[in-house]
């Protein structure tokens, strides 16, 4: 190992040793999701006009889908007794001594999208969706992450919602987080996490594409769904909330001038990178590398 080797020179050395056309996975900027945190003003629902669309703490106006999103109904048409809207849950401190909707509020910003069904019978699935400005591409690893919320029972902090009284929201009706291409589901997470009452967890959907994926070139989309399964008998509502939608993409290989590298070439490249990583770690540990 040359004594002049430094950390800065390692990537160049590794790149020189890779076969033509091969590359290490390359992260790209996240794909834009419109109103990904549901923080845009919500002026068109039943929120009193004096708020100008700025949803106040501890309330849940309903009406059309949040900006940037459209409604999805499994049966193709709106379901009686279901509501889309924006929830500004506030925190336990906002509601004390009464129970909050979520202990820590929304996981991103102030708001989340709410998908609520009146009563306990459940029914067809429904939710919100949007088409993105990107198409499905080959040789990519897509990772979609969405915070899924299990709202707890409680009463809104302000009228007109507080006049609706206490909502028994015990239980959880299930969810889907779906990645679409051309409006067709290409990957999804169905109930992969089960947040406790008043808590959030992150659902993850992953998809790796090759040149043979049948939906290449079609617009990507995201759909967030309340599975609307029957809930605890006697509850006054069935609800799932979502927030903080993120879609990341990594390029898994570069298109070389003579086509993609073979699996053997990639394995060889991986072995070289691994070998140098181990060698470098040993050298650094022994203090022989300048820092
Ligand atoms: Ca948010
Ligand atoms: Ca609940």
pLDDT score, position 290 = 40
Which pTM was predicted? Answer: 0.81
pLDDT score, position 271 = 47
Query: For the residues of the chain, what is the DSSP string, one character each?
Result: --TT--TTTHHHHHHHHSPTT----EE-PPBP-TTTTS-S---SSSS-GGGTT-PPTTB--EESPPTT-EEEETTSSPPTTEEEEEEB---HHHHTTSPPSSTT--SSSS-EEEEEEESS---S-EEEEEEEEEE--SSEEEEEEEEEEEPPPB--SSTTTGGG--B---S---EEEEEEETTEEEEEEES---PPTTEEEEEEEEEE--TT-TTTTSEEEEEEEE-----STT-SEEEEEEEEEEEEEEE-----TTSPPPHHHHHHHHHHHHHHHHHHHHHHHTT-S--
**Residues 137-184: pLDDT tens digits?**
999 999 999 999 999 999 999 999 999 999 999 999 999 999 999 999
Distance 12 CA to ligand 2 centre (A): 53
Peptide bond into 97 cis (omega under 30): yes
pLDDT score, position 257 = 53
CB 61 within 8 A of CB 45: yes
153: its two tokens: 């029972």
pLDDT score, position 2 = 37
User: How far out from the chain centre does Cα 149 lie?
Assistant: 12
Stretches where the chain sits below pLDDT 50 are 1-18, 20-21, 258-276, 278-282, 284-285, 287-291
Domains of the chain with bracketed CATH: 1-25+255-291 (no CATH), 33-252 (2.60.120.260)
pLDDT score, position 253 = 83
CB 253 within 8 A of CB 266: yes
pLDDT score, position 291 = 35
Number of alpha carbons in the 13 Å side-chain half-sphere of residue 219? 10
Number of alpha carbons in the 13 Å side-chain half-sphere of residue 204? 5
Distance 12 CA to ligand 1 centre (A): 41
Q: Which ligand is nearest to the CA of 89?
A: 1
Distance 69 CA to ligand 1 centre (A): 14
Distance 232 CA to ligand 2 centre (A): 10
pLDDT score, position 5 = 40
pLDDT score, position 217 = 98
Distance 208 CA to ligand 2 centre (A): 33
Cα distance between residue 8 and residue 6, in whole Å = 5
User: How far out from the chain centre does Cα 226 lie?
Assistant: 15
Distance 272 CA to ligand 1 centre (A): 43
215: its two tokens: 């939906």
Q: Which ligand is nearest to the CA of 170?
A: 2
Tokens 């809207």, residue located: 85
């Amino acid at each position: 190992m040359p004594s002049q080797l430094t950390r800065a020179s390692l990537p160049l050395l590794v790149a020189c040793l890779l076969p033509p056309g091969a590359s290490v996975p390359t992260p790209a900027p996240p794909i834009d999701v419109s109103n990904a945190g549901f923080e845009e003003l919500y002026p068109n629902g039943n929120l009193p006009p004096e708020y100008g669309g700025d949803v106040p703490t501890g309330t849940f106006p309903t009406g059309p889908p949040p900006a940037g999103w459209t409604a999805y109904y499994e049966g193709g048409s709106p379901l009686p007794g279901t509501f889309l809207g924006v929830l500004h849950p506030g925190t336990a401190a906002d509601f004390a001594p009464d129970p909050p909707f979520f202990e820590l509020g929304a996981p991103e910003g102030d708001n989340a999208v709410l998908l609520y069904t009146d009563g306990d019978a459940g029914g067809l699935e429904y939710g919100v969706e949007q088409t993105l400005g990107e198409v499905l591409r080959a040789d990519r690893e897509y990772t979609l992450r969405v915070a899924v919320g299990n709202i707890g029972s409680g009463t809104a902090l302000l009228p007109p919602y507080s006049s609706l009284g206490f909502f028994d929201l015990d239980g959880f009706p299930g969810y889907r987080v779906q990645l679409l291409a051309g409006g067709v589901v290409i990957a999804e997470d169905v109930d992969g996490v089960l947040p406790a009452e008043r808590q959030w967890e992150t659902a993850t959907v992953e998809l790796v594409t090759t040149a043979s994926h049948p939906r290449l070139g079609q617009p990507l989309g995201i759909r967030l769904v309340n599975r609307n399964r029957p809930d605890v008998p006697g509850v006054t509502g069935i609800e799932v909330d979502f927030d903080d939608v993120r879609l990341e993409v990594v390029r898994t290989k570069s298109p070389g001038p003579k086509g993609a590298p073979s699996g053997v070439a990639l394995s060889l490249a991986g072995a070289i990178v691994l070998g140098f990583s181990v060698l470098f770690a040993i050298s650094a540990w022994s203090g022989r590398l300048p820092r």
